[in-house]
Chains A and B, each alone.
Chain A
Amino acid sequence: MSEDQLQTNPYRKINSTSAYRRLMMAYYFMVKHPSWFGKKVAWITSGGPVEPLYAMGVLPFYPENYGAMCGASRMSVSLCEAAEQKGYSHDLCSYALTDIGSFFTGKGPIGRLPKPDFLVCGNNICGTVIKWYEIQARALRAPLFFIDTPFFHDELHQHNLQYVEKQMGEYIAFLEDQTKRPFLEKRFKKVGSRSLEAISLWREILDLSRNQPAPFAAFDAFIHMAPIVTLRGTRWAVRYYQKLKRELEERVKKGLGAFAREEIRLVWDNIPIWYDIRNLSKLLSSNGAVLVADTYTSAWAMEEPDLTFSLDGLSRAYATIHLNRGLGYKMQKMAKLIEKFGAHGFLMHSNRSCKPYSLGQYDMRREVTRLTGKPGLIIEADHTDSRSYSPQQVEKQILIFLDIIRNKQQGST
């Protein structure tokens, strides 16, 4: 792809990005030096209930988010290899391998990871985290709290919810014990309402891309999602998303898209290919294609968050997240995104690292096409480990796929 081609479709930089960088730097500074701020640190899975932590003055650290950072900065391969040298299989989730490798070597974008006072693991995203957190709890000699949220293939049953609710109660007791502080309902509600505010803002931001042209590409969302994951429940996240939203609303008013040219609108499924985001974005945009929505970042824009933010509401919200639901739901969600965002097709990343996201994608592609009439393409990769990725082949597949869409568009005009 020549630079000339890229020039034909310039990317509009988001001004809030510098505020985003400052925010994340401040966050990482705090988790690296918690004692300076009188805080404890907990490692937590990306789907874990973070609000009780903030309510108890504990800083969350997300190894998965850190894994994404390692992937984007192309440090994952050497970290995965370090884990593999210790006997971990190459076939395990590369977020886990990256984290384990980083633990062994002390290497990574922020150097040695902050030692947690305890770990919190929720299996609402996958079963991988059970094993991963057991390993790290043993290695770090830190207590582990585990929240079990049974997957729901079709219906959500009452006893299932009660089970999660009871465990939320145990979680609170665990936190009281670890922090030697009482759990204050008032504080929790405050954190909860901030969390909801951030979630609503995030949803509104993502929804802005229903406009044509889309002011905020999914590739932007992949970057700017970090605060909704790590800082959900804080004022920082709310303030940041207010700012970002204002900027994007301005774009909509002026009819400006994330890219100057937007001819093909696509939806993305699965975790990004972190080490190749820039190239993929360039490849698509130089061909007039923009990712306008995705199933990954929208997972943090919960559809029916409980407005009262009680422990029951929290249980329901965490038991029903995207990855904890069956294939039927995922197919419907994808079809809805395509319709809602006026997409012409969809790209699915078959991610060898993440089975909950990737199993079922082949059937899903056929079904979503049947439901929407829009074509889909599956590309094989891994979210952080580039060793099994073949960029030339993916590039070729994407170009052919875009041609198919273009031909379809021409045929229908």
Chain B
Amino acid sequence: MSEENSISRIKKEFEELTSLEYREIASHLPGDRIPIGFFCPYVPEEMLHAAGAFPIRLMGAPIKMSHVQAHLPPNCCYLVKSSLESLLRGELDFLKGMIFSHTCDTMQGLSDIWAFQKRLTLQFNLMMPAYLNSEASRPYWKAEIERFREFLETNIGEVTPQNLTTAIQLFNRIRKNIREIYQLRRTLHEEITGADFANIIRAQYLMDRNQYQFLLSELLDLLSCQKKKEGRLVPIYLAGNMVHSAPYFALIEEAGATVVSDNLCSGARFLRLITREDIDPIEALTQRYFSSFLCPTKHGGSNDPIETLLREVEETGATGVVFLFYKYCESHYFDYPDLKRALEAKSIPTLLLEVDDPATSQGQLKIRIQAFIEMLSPI
């Protein structure tokens, strides 16, 4: 098989997997692990993996809302609404449990409502501190991770230091490989389009991680043999809460731009969660969240949101910033006006895109993205 065909084969495998509905996913899961859901990377997947669970990240699925209105007011983000709808419809019944981590008020409310439905056997709230600069935050967070370990050991399986270290190594490799693919995309965006990359991100949560890692390595090898082309696409930084969703990346690329970096919790931010392998694994998992994983639901200093974004945009050489937000997300919308002002003061144009149900809003977005990219393109 030619290299190009092999690349297509791997991409197709990822694409097929990510196009499955929750209901269909169950039959694709490795049978020897217990499926456990989670939303956000504050939950250390490595620990779930080490206990013998299969961690599945819920990233929002297109679904018709018909049950959720009886449990949630309308002003909640799509991720929260659609996930609860999936639960209420029984589409998540294949999960043995769900791990929530402390982020925003909506997620906090969802966790309680979720538990009250009593549809899944297990639920755990991992309470990540909201303040990262206190002397007290680290010991607290470490104790919380220990509590999580105890929960897993009682309900899933033992987390031996050996298993945990092996899991950390595996997940580190996965993140490093995805990072490399992200880098390569800058010069190989035809081989790995934005939509392909979004599928790669989503697929990791739906397949055996060893198998996934194997495919990633294979893909990397194949890509490194490809001829690099100097990109003429406009480099864009993507900011927001929206987890990777192929259509948005496609829209941006069709308009003549490419996402060179981002601060999505399914993207560059989560890819920075590399864990030290040379120290106690629990300590290593504790530490990694304090280095470079700030999201707007956490406080690391009043100026931190602005300084971090300015620095990252500058480092990546992006010439414009697209804010892609789920509607009703307070944490991000509060930051937005100051971020926009700060970027524009540095002559970096910005575009705000607000999305409620991703399935319905693409038409309107297309024109706005095109106009924005046109403005950024050299005359």
A interface residues with partner B (beta carbon < 8 Å): 86-89, 91-93, 96, 123, 126-128, 130-135, 137-138, 144, 146-148, 150-154, 157, 159-160, 162-163, 166-167, 170, 326-328, 350, 352, 355-356, 358-363, 367, 380
Binary flags per residue of B335-354, CB closer than 8 Å to A gives 1, else 0: 11110110000000000000
The stretch of B43-51, B99-107, B193-201, B237-245 that contacts the partner chain: B99-107
> Is B212 positioned at the interface, with any CB of A under 8 Å from its CB?
no
Whether the pair B333, A359 counts as a contact (CB closer than 8 A) is no
Contact status A131-B75, CB under 8 Å: no
Among residues of B, the one whose C-beta sits closest to the C-beta of A161 is B140
Q: Do B140 and A159 have beta carbons less than 8 Å apart?
A: yes
**Cβ contacts A to B, 22 pairs, < 8 Å:** A87-B340, A126-B105, A128-B330, A131-B331, A137-B302, A138-B303, A138-B306, A146-B130, A150-B129, A151-B127, A153-B115, A163-B136, A163-B137, A166-B134, A166-B135, A327-B113, A355-B105, A356-B105, A359-B73, A359-B113, A360-B109, A367-B116
- Report the minimal beta-carbon distance from A118 to chain B, rounded to whole angstroms: 11
Does the CB pair B330–A355 fall under 8 Å?
Answer: yes
Least CB distance, B289 to chain A, in whole angstroms: 14
Q: Is the CB of B334 within 8 A of A132?
A: yes
Cβ distance B137 to chain A, nearest Cβ, rounded Å: 7
CA distance A327 to B103 in the complex (A): 17
Query: Given the complex, which residues of A lie within 8 Å of B333, measured CB to CB?
Result: 88-89, 91-92
Assembled-state Cα–Cα distance A88/B108 (Å): 23
Decide if B106 touches A355 in the complex (CB within 8 Å): yes
Report if A153-B327 is in contact (Cβ < 8 Å); known contacts: A128-B105, A134-B299, A135-B334: no
- Residue from the list A138, A359, A367 in contact with B105, Cβ < 8 A: A359
Q: What is the CB-to-nearest-CB distance from B117 to chain A, in angstroms, rounded to a whole number?
A: 8
Residues from chain A with Cβ under 8 Å of B328 in the complex: 91
Main secondary structure of the interface of B (DSSP, over half): helix
A350 to B303, CA, bound (A): 33
Residues in B whose Cβ lies below 8 Å from that of A148: 129-131, 134, 137, 299
Q: Which of A326, A327, A359 contacts B72 (CB 8 A)?
A: A359
Say if the beta carbon of B97 comes within 8 Å of chain A.
no
**Cα–Cα, bound, A133→B305 (Å):** 13
Q: Choose from A96, A146, A154, A167 the contact partner of B334 (Cβ within 8 Å).
A: A96
Once bound together, how far apart are the Cα atoms of A96 and B334, in whole Å? 9
Chain A residue, CB-CB nearest to B75:
A352
Contacts of A367 in B (CB 8 A): 116
Going nearest first, the 8 A-B pairs with the smallest beta carbon separation are: A359-B109, A87-B337, A131-B334, A327-B112, A166-B136, A159-B143, A163-B140, A148-B131
Q: Which of A91, A135, A152, A166 contacts B338 (CB 8 A)?
A: A135
Query: Which residues from chain A contact B331 at a C-beta distance below 8 Å?
Result: 127, 131
Q: Check if B147 is an interface residue, CB within 8 A of chain A.
A: yes
Evaluate contact between B109 and A131: CB separation under 8 angstroms.
no
In the complex with contacts A123-B130, A363-B71, A157-B137 CB distance below 8 A: no
Contact, CB under 8 Å: B134 / A134: no
In angstroms, Cα B83 to Cα A391, docked, is 33
A130 and B340: CB pair below 8 A? no
Query: In B108-136, which residues have CB < 8 Å from any A CB?
Result: 108-113, 115-116, 125, 127, 129-131, 134-136
Q: What is the distance, in angstroms, from A105's C-beta to the closest C-beta of chain B?
A: 15
How far in angstroms is the closest Cβ of chain B from A382? 10
Instruction: Given the known inter-chain contacts A151-B102, A352-B73, A362-B72, please indicate yes or no for A170 contacting B305, CB distance below 8 A.
Output: no
Cross-chain contact A327 with B334 (CB below 8 angstroms): no
Whole-angstrom CA separation of A260 from B214 in the bound complex: 78
Give Cα A89 to B143, complex, Å: 37
Determine if B36 is an interface residue (Cβ-Cβ < 8 Å). no
Q: Which A residues are CB-close (under 8 A) to B306?
A: 138
**Contact between A163 and B299, CB atoms less than 8 A apart:** no
B residues within 8 A CB of A326?
Answer: 112
Per-position binary interface string of chain B over residues 82-104, scored 1 when its CB falls under 8 Å from any chain A CB and 0 otherwise: 00000000000000000000111
Residues of B within 8 A of A157 (CB): 143, 147
Tell whether, in the assembled complex, residue A153 and residue B134 are in contact, meaning their CB atoms are under 8 Å apart: no
A-chain residues with CB within 8 Å of residue B60 when the two chains form the complex: none
In the complex, B144 has a CB within 8 A of chain A: yes
Give chain A nearest CB distance to B322 CB in angstroms. 16
C-alpha gap A74/B302 in the complex (Å)? 31
Partner of A93 from B305, B327, B330 at Cβ < 8 Å: B330
Contacts of A363 in B (CB 8 A): 71, 113, 116
Nearest CB in chain A to that of B123: its residue: A153
Asked if B296 lies at the interface with its beta carbon under 8 angstroms from chain A, I say: yes
Task: With CB as the reference atom, state the residue of chain A lying closest to B336.
Answer: A87
A134 to B328, CA, bound (A): 19
Chain B residues within an 8 Å CB radius of A163: 129, 136-137, 139-140
A residues in contact with B336, CB < 8 Å: 87-89
**Which residues of A have CB within 8 Å of B76?**
355, 359
Query: Which of B112, B129, B303 lies in contact with A359, CB distance below 8 A?
Result: B112
Q: Are B109 and A130 in contact (CB under 8 A)?
A: no
Q: Are the CB atoms of A138 and B116 closer together than 8 Å?
A: no
Known: A89-B336, A160-B127, A160-B140. 16 other contacts (CB 8 A): A92-B333, A128-B105, A130-B299, A131-B330, A134-B299, A134-B334, A138-B302, A146-B131, A146-B299, A148-B129, A148-B130, A148-B137, A163-B140, A170-B135, A360-B113, A360-B116
Q: Nearest Cβ distance between residue B46 and chain A, in whole angstroms?
A: 21
B70 beta carbon closer than 8 Å to chain A:
yes
- B166: interface (CB < 8 Å): no
CA distance A152 to B102 in the complex (A): 10
B143 to chain A, nearest CB (A): 4
> In whole Å, how far is B300's beta carbon from the nearest beta carbon of chain A?
10
Does any Cβ of A come within 8 Å of B297's Cβ?
Answer: yes
CB proximity of B275 to chain A, nearest CB, Å:
22
Q: Are A127 and B297 also in contact (CB < 8 A) when A132-B334, A327-B113 are? A: yes
* Contact of B109 (CB < 8 Å), options: A132, A170, A356: A356
User: In the complex, how many angstroms separate the beta carbon of B202 from the nearest chain A beta carbon?
Assistant: 27
Q: Are A162 and B140 in contact (CB under 8 A)?
A: yes
Minimum Cβ distance to chain B for residue A354 (Å): 9
Find chain A residues with CB under 8 A from B305 CB: 134
- Asked if residues B73 and A350 are in contact (CB atoms below 8 Å), the reply is yes
Per-residue contact bits, chain B 298-315, to A (CB 8 Å; 1 contact, 0 not): 110011011000000000
Closest beta carbon of chain B to A370's beta carbon, Å: 12
Nearest B residue (CB) for A142: B302
Chain B residues, CB < 8 A from A380: 73
Please name all residues of chain A whose beta carbon is closer than 8 Å to the beta carbon of B340 when the two chains form the complex. Answer: 87
Query: Which residues does chain B contribute within 8 Å of A93, judged by CB atoms?
Result: 330
Contact B327 A131 (CB under 8 A): no
Q: CB-CB < 8 A to B130: which residues of A?
A: 123, 127, 130, 146, 148, 150
CB distance from B48 to the nearest CB of A (A): 19
The distance from the CB of B119 to the nearest CB of chain A, in whole angstroms, is 13
On chain A, the residues within 8 Å of B73 by CB distance are 350, 352, 358-359, 361-362, 380
**In the complex the two chains form, what is the Cα distance from A328 to B125 in whole Å?**
14
Residues of B contacting A133 in the complex (Cβ-Cβ under 8 angstroms): 302
Partner of A91, one of B143, B147, B296, B330: B330
Residues of B within 8 A of A96 (CB): 334
Closest Cβ of chain A to B316, distance in Å, is 24
